[in-house]
Structure formats: structure tokens, C-alpha cells
Structure 1
């Protein structure tokens, strides 16, 4: 934990780290794609679980271009993303879904460290959820898709002239790891034991 606390700037992934939401995210894909063949939807869910840090826009595009082998029409992708967001806004505003040990850590240290959310989830939806969950005040900003996570991290570093050695990313997916590596900052894995051998550090607990 001292390694994490040594960083002045802490960037947080959202789903699976701050909020226990992955099962709801999965169910959301099932609902918005209910009119498509079950086997195709299941293939998307496999891709979704393996790439938790990617945005829904990327996942829906993957569904059409790689699974269905057809053109991913922009209007169709936007409509699916909007329907998905409506479901998320309905089911993810319960404070009981916040991960207690992570929220306790954030509340304890947010005044001593600059904290940000960088997520593959939709940015507007994230800001709505953080407000409804009563946690927006802990973060300098809440950033999400459609901007890719690698770019979100780069934007924060460049805009604020943060030193890379003073900045880190906490996440639970290989996409989070990639975003940290591409930007030259340390990565702290959490809530995904597959990251133990890959991450710079792995956090078994925040307590």
C-alpha cells in the first residue's frame, strides 16, 4: 500500500474497482441485443469479459464487424449505446454496489492525493452515476468514453504537466494495464488475479 500512497496522482478505473457492476454491465448487453442470435450475443459477452476496460462503442462495433461480419452503422451503434446507458442509469445508482474498502480508501486519502476516474464506460453516464452515488467530490474529474482510455490518461498527464513517476493507474483489466504502460506510468492491479504476474504491483486488499 505504501507504493500506492507514494504517488501524488491516482487514476482509477470504475467498473470492478470502485463499483461492483460487471454483472449488471453483462446483463445490459444481453438486454439491448435481445433480438440477435444467442450464440452471437454470447460471443460478445466473452469479448466483453476479457476486455473490461474497453468502451461499449468498441464492443458493439466488434459485435457487428467481427461476430456478425457486417457493417457497423453509426446510427445503429449510437442507438444501442443510448439504450445501454438507460439500463445502466437505472440499475447502478445503488450505494450498496460501491466497493467498501476502495471507497473507504478514497475518502481517507482524496485530500492528500489528486484522484481521477478514467474509464471505458460512457463519460456522461459516469458523471451521472458518481453524482447519484455521492462520490463525485472525491475526484478532480471523471473521464470516460468515447475517448479511449489510453488517450484519457495521456490528456490528464499533459494538461496538468504531471510527472509520470508521480502518477499511477489502478485497474482490473488488461486494458487498464495497457493504458498505464502506453503512458509510462505504474499500474496497480486489483480484483483480477490474472493480473498478478503482469502488473507492476497487485493489491489484494485496500485494508
Structure 2
């Protein structure tokens, strides 16, 4: 197993890795779905908490098709996702939500190696949040849903002609792990003890890895 310093390209999940945004996103689901029965919304919140790396598009579809047992159109999903994004753009542009441990490390690696954000959150929303919080310049590119995470990684590898052996995906969910494995790249877990395993790297903290010049 290689150490973090041995990789030449880092792919970062966002929620739970760079920003502690899960409570805010939970609030967003409650607000957007406030007209629906409380027990159904609670079931969706539990699904959201258990599947942090999945996109809102998947979660809204699950709410209707699996919880409410009814059909839902792509337009309805899109409209709900847009409403959700409007709430997120307002609430997530807070520096207090950034995870200092990882953000300090990200900023220390600028101009040392290419880094990309690959997230299950909406791509346009992520780019807006990163711009507002002065994070965007740290990354070569920032990507999110509706394109699935596994496909985003595949497209990055092809676009930049990356050697898979050089890449490391850093995430806090099984979705991040699966996306890495599906693309044949290494995975490092962070900020989720349930992902601690001898099969891949686990990062307890980035602090020891930051070198101040």
C-alpha cells in the first residue's frame, strides 16, 4: 500500500471531506419536501445519511419510487433538485463549514500536483461554492452530479491521459470507494471510521503531512 505522498494526482470528494455539509444538506431535503408526510421525509433523511456520496437526483427518485411508491418525471426531479440547490447556495457559503484539517492540506499542495473535486453534489453548485469560499483555484477542475461519480473519474482519466497508478480518490463513503474500484484506481478513506480497512489507506489527519515553507 502506497503512502499519500507517493501519488501524483488526487481526486477529492467534497461533502464530509472538504466541507462538513451533511447537516445542511439534511436541512435542505426537509425544506424542499416539507409539504410531504413527515414519516416519509424521515425515511428519505435516513437514506440520505446512509448514502452520503449519492447525488440528490438519486435520492429524490428514491423518495418517490421507493418510499412513496409512485412514478416521478425527470422534470419533477430536476425541479426539486433546482430548489434544493438554491437552498444550498445560500447556506453552504460559510467558511465555518470547511474542514480545516483537509483544506489546509489542499492549499499546501497547490502547484505541487494536480487535484480535482469529484463529488455526488451538483456540479454547478459545487463550482459556485468553491468560488465563493476561495477554494476553486486549488483545483484543476470541479465536477459533480448529475453525472455519476464513477463516470466522472473515467472521463478525467481519459481527458488528462492520467496513469491510473498515479491516482488516489479520497472519500468518506462507500460510493467513493466503489467509484475508485470501478475505475481501477486506489482509494483512501477519511472522516468515516466505518471505512477503516487494511485493504486501503485510511487518513486519520492531514496535519502531519503539511509542510510550511
Q: What range describes the TM-score normalised by the shorter chain of this pair?
A: over 0.9
Matched, 1:123 2:123: yes
Q: Where does residue 174 of structure 2 map in the other structure?
A: 174
How does the TM-score come out when normalised to structure 2?
Answer: 0.94
Which consecutive residues of structure 2, in runs of 5 or more, have no partner in the other structure? Answer: 208-213
**How far 1:50 sits from its partner (Å)?**
1.2
Q: Is the 8 A contact 1:177 1:199 kept in 2?
A: no
**How far 1:15 sits from its partner (Å)?**
0.5
Q: In the superposition, relative to structure 1, how do residues 198 and 118 fare at CA in structure 2: closer, same or farther (>3 Å)?
A: farther
Rounded Cα–Cα distance in structure 2 between residues aligned with 1:20 and 1:62:
24
Q: In the superposition, relative to structure 1, how do residues 101 and 146 fare at CA in structure 2: closer, same or farther (>3 Å)?
A: same
Q: Where does residue 196 of structure 1 map in the other structure?
A: 196
How does the TM-score come out when normalised to structure 1?
Answer: 0.97
- Equivalent residue of 2:3, what SS? helix
Q: Where does residue 56 of structure 1 map in the other structure?
A: 56
Q: Where does residue 185 of structure 2 map in the other structure?
A: 185
Rounded Cα–Cα distance in structure 1 between residues aligned with 2:204 and 2:143:
25
**How far 1:113 sits from its partner (Å)?**
1.1
Rounded Cα–Cα distance in structure 2 between residues aligned with 1:190 and 1:76:
34
Q: How does 1:1-207 map to 2 (within 5 A)?
A: 3-197=3-197, 200-207=200-207
Rounded Cα–Cα distance in structure 1 between residues aligned with 2:63 and 2:115:
33
- Equivalent residue of 1:93, what SS? coil
- Equivalent residue of 1:69, what SS? coil
Runs of 4+ in 1 over 3 A off after TM superposition: none
**How far 1:6 sits from its partner (Å)?**
0.9
